[in-house]
Amino acid sequence: MLLRIPALLTPEEVRHCRQALHHAPWQDGRTTAGPVAAQVKSNLQLPLDSKTGQQIGELILDRLGRNPLFMSAALPLKVLPPRFNRYEGGGAYGKHVDNAFFSIPGTAIKLRSDISTTVFFSDPDEYEGGELVVEDTYGQQVVKLPAGDAIVYPGSSLHHVHPVTQGCRYGAFFWTQSLIKSAEQRRLLFELDRSIQQLTQEHPAHSGIAALSGTYHNLLRMWAQA
């Protein structure tokens, strides 16, 4: 399931983050890639211990925690602190699948990468190329969103980033381990939750809302792996 999270960050927040990212020190993005991904990765990335990255990452996680669309779709158990990349001068990332597990920095905790998220910090008209291309059951999905928007997609997806031939593309990326390991079960729960919310808004006194809500939570209990 590919899901757009519109306006995760406000324009003011985006401007503040962009200014900080512009002045931050960057390093070769291959330093954090696995041996296979490193062969097709050509971009810049903030060091994992970057104070700028940590501060912006905290902002992103705060906004995600308040975003009902993300919470409903991801049902997060653990979220890796966001990382940040920069594409310019032909920089690209060839076809790859993300690692199945990541270690949370400074801890012994490992996170299963059920869900990938990219947050855009550059508007589409600021750079040429740079599209995120995700391959799913419906073919190739091409993503190039306004600054402040996020895209959520399965961590198991084969994906790549087209070369940025002009301008500069800033972004954040990170992974979420969901309470629900199965992507299909997550999709069903998301669709059920959204239907319950719509029914509640349109017919708040409907007698079926309680029963549907009960079914949702019982399925969550059945499938969750906390």
Residue 119 DSSP label: E
Q: Residue 139's pLDDT is what?
A: 87
Domain at 174, CATH number: 2.60.120.620
Print the domain residue range for 209.
Answer: 183-223
Residue type, 144: K
Note the pLDDT of residue 218: 98
Q: State the average pLDDT for the chain.
A: 95
Choose between 37 and 100: higher pLDDT. 100
Helix (H, G, I), strand (E, B), or coil: what is residue 187?
Answer: helix
Beta bridge partners of 92: 42
Q: How many CB atoms lie within 10 A of CB 23?
A: 8
For residue 210, give the CATH number of its domain. Answer: 4.10.860
159 and 60: one domain?
yes
Whether this prediction's pTM lies above 0.85 is answered by yes
Q: Looking at the structure, do residues 164 and 190 belong to the same domain, yes or no? A: no
Domain count, the chain: 2
